[in-house]
Amino acid sequence: MAPVRQQLKSALLYSALCLVICIVGFGFAEGFEAAKAAFIGGAIILVPSGWLAHRVASTQGAQYATAVALVKFSLCGLGFALLFVLKPSIHAFAVFIGAATVLLALPIATGMAQRLNSNESRH
């Protein structure tokens, strides 16, 4: 399980770095409020994804991967619902871009981490 856990941690780290780039871009283009909204949108996806990675990479997590993934998606949905109920004036496009950045970066970064690990194991 250690290689899987390391791959998932690397994917989360790279996704967080992509989110930081997105936040800085929104900060320069739209201002602090948009950057904060992009951060919140990305965090709503990234935090449950980190929890999912931790649970699935545990010793018994593979047995419950589907259930844990459903909980992750429920937490993300709840996070967005709470965000838009509690703060309806938030920059919605920035929230979307922050979330989309993480949603796109996670599978790409996971694939890259798996490819790097397979290349290292061959050498």
Closest CA to 36 of 85, 80, 92, 77: 92
Measured in degrees and rounded to the nearest 5, phi and psi for residue 102 equal -70, -40
Q: Where are the domains of the chain?
A: 2-122
Tell me which residue has tokens 């790097």: 116
Q: What is the pLDDT of residues 33-65, one digit of tens each?
A: 999 999 999 999 999 888 877 777 766 666 777
Rg (CA), the chain: 16
Mean pLDDT per 10-residue interval, the chain, length 123 residues: 74 91 91 94 92 72 72 90 94 94 90 77 62
User: Could you give the angle at which helices 92-122 and 2-30 cross, rounded to 10 degrees?
Assistant: 150
The whole model's pTM is what? 0.83
Q: Give residue for tokens 């996704």.
A: 15
What one-character DSSP code corresponds to residue 58? S
The conformational region for residue 62 under phi > 0 = left, psi -120 to 50 = alpha, else beta, is alpha
Predicted local confidence at residue 58, as pLDDT: 67
Residue 21: Cβ within 10 Å count: 11
Fill in the amino acid letter for 49. S
